Chain A
Amino acid sequence: SQTIHQWPATLVQPVGSPLSLECTVEGTSNPNLYWYRQAAGRGLQLLFYSVGIGQISSEVPQNLSASRPQDRQFILSSKKLLLSDSGFYLCAWGGGGLGGYTFGSGTRLTVV
Chain B
Amino acid sequence: DQQVKQNSPSLSVQEGRISILNCDYTNSMFDYFLWYKKYPAEGPTFLISISSIKDKNEDGRFTVFLNKSAKHLSLHIVPSQPGDSAVYFCAASAPEIIFGKGTRLHILP
Contact = CB atoms under 8 A, between A and B. Distances in A.
Given A97-B31, A101-B97, A43 B102 contact: yes
Given A43-B89, A43-B102, A100 B97 contact: yes
Interface string B84-109: 00000101010111111110000000
Interface residues of B, number: 26
Interface stretch (B12-20, B41-49, B74-82): B41-49
Contacts of A46: 96-98
B24 to A, nearest CB: 13
A101 B101 CA distance: 17
B89 A106 contact: no
Given A46-B97, A98-B49, A103 B31 contact: no
Contacts of B63: none
